[in-house]
Amino acid sequence: MDNELYSFALKSTLDEIRNLCPDIKNAFMFREDGEITAADESTPRKTIVKIVDSFDGLMEKAETMGGIELITVEGSKGGVNVSRMNNHYLVTVTSQNADKNYLNTITHTLVKTVLKLLEKINPAPLNNNPSEPETETEIRTIKKDEKPTERAEKLAAEDSEQPTKPETVRPEPTANQFMVENIGGLLVAADTVRIDNETLLQWQELYEDRKIEEVEIETFEGKSTRCKIKPVKDSKQEGKGVVQIPQKIQRTLEIRKGELVKVKPVVD
Amino acid sequence: MTKKKKETQMVGQVTEPIVLEATMSVNDLKAKLEELKNRDGVIGYILRNTTSASIDLKDPAKVIDFAVLSSSAIDASKELSNLFDLGNVNSTVVEGRNIKMLSLTIDENRISIFMEKNVDCEALRNTLCAKGPN
């Protein structure tokens, strides 16, 4: 079972909970490391990212009390409940007069059961594969098991309708989706982003005779910029599908940690 | 020289009543918090406003950790409230593995009470929010 199915199962559970309890206005789940695993359709992804960001700091500070098990916020117009389930956090936003005990019983029972089932079916932990927002832009992604040369052949075959000489057929640079990660430190170049080695090697093989020194980053809001590219230093970030972007570029593109961006190599 | 004296007098006249009023309210809250602190399972409290802060914890080594946590929890709940239109935040409860924290804002005073997990924080909140002395 792959991550998409995991996310689908959790999302369906959240949707069902919302159908069952109309007092729940929003529901979503994220992991301890900040990855969003499932969200209902009514909650904008940007809102979730902001919340995960604000909880990130709080969770760090809550280590003094043994981590966070539950957060309850009561406002004059409604409330929020954040509960830890295995290594996930379930966030539910409720209306003012909601029966909180009933809602908690329903959500906890259903979500915990689904999580247990998913773990039994496939004990491997959820990888970083957030549900991707739908876009009209066509994005071609390089599959892990697909060799870059095979891909180049495929792309060449796709373009075969146009009469071109075989030796001059080169695939156009295609965009991959990555999740934004912060990059910090004193010696960080403000104009350079970092991507895992695997992707860089794939690009290198794909465009054998061209040197890839720059990438174009494009947001789903249509903002884009060019910047230098280097491989990630932290081996933990390898294969996670993240792009480490300095704060300055994040501000330029109006993006934040956890958001998705399209990255394609600049092949001159 | 004469001018300086006049300025000093004016400042004194303006600030004195405000300080007195704030102290009254804080003192009332402090008295309630002192009473709550003596209850079983209550670990301590942090009371902050624009002019002063009081921290009373049974384990002084955790003062900074708890102060930072309290501030972060209040900020996070405000952000949640803004994003989901929850209105004024009445209270925030953060439960850890062994400890829980109740944070609330009364007028300009930001209060966080730390307690063991089995303590009924609703009862503590009711006591704090009740008007008049206990």
Q: B21: which 2 tokens?
A: 């009023």
pLDDT tens digit string along A9-20? 888 888 888 888
The residue type at B12: G
Cβ neighbours of A26 in B, within 8 Å? 84
Q: How far apart (Å, rounded) are the C-alpha atoms in residues A214 and A47?
A: 31
Strands (E), B23-130: 42-48, 53-57, 89-95, 99-106, 109-116
Q: What residues in A contact B73, CB-CB < 8 Å? A: 58, 71
Kindly determine whether residue B100 and residue A62, on different chains, have CB atoms separated by under 8 Å: no
B62 touches chain A (CB under 8 A): yes
CATH of A3-121, one of 1.10.357.10, 3.90.70.10, 3.60.21.10, 3.30.450.30: 3.30.450.30
| pLDDT for res B111 | 92
Nearest-angstrom CA–CA distance, A60 and B106: 26
Q: Measure CB to CB from residue B96 to each of A51, A69, A76 and give the nearest one.
A: A69
**Structural contact between residues A260 and A130, judged by C-beta atoms closer than 8 angstroms:** yes
Q: In this predicted model, what pLDDT tens digit does every residue of A44-70 receive, in sequence order?
A: 888 888 888 888 878 888 888 888 899
Domains and CATH numbers, chain B: 2-129 (3.30.450.30)
**CB nearest to B80's CB, from A51, A65, A76:** A51
Please state the domain extents for chain A. Answer: 3-121, 148-266
pTM > 0.80:
no
Q: CB-based contact (8 Å) between A101 and chain B? A: no
Question: Does the distance separating the beta carbons of B87 and A77 come in below 8 Å?
Answer: yes
The predicted model gives B74-86 an average pLDDT of 89
Question: ipTM of the assembly?
Answer: 0.78
CATH code of the region A148-266: 2.40.40.20
Do the Cβ atoms of B47 and B54 come closer than 8 Å?
yes
- Token readout for A58 is 């709080």
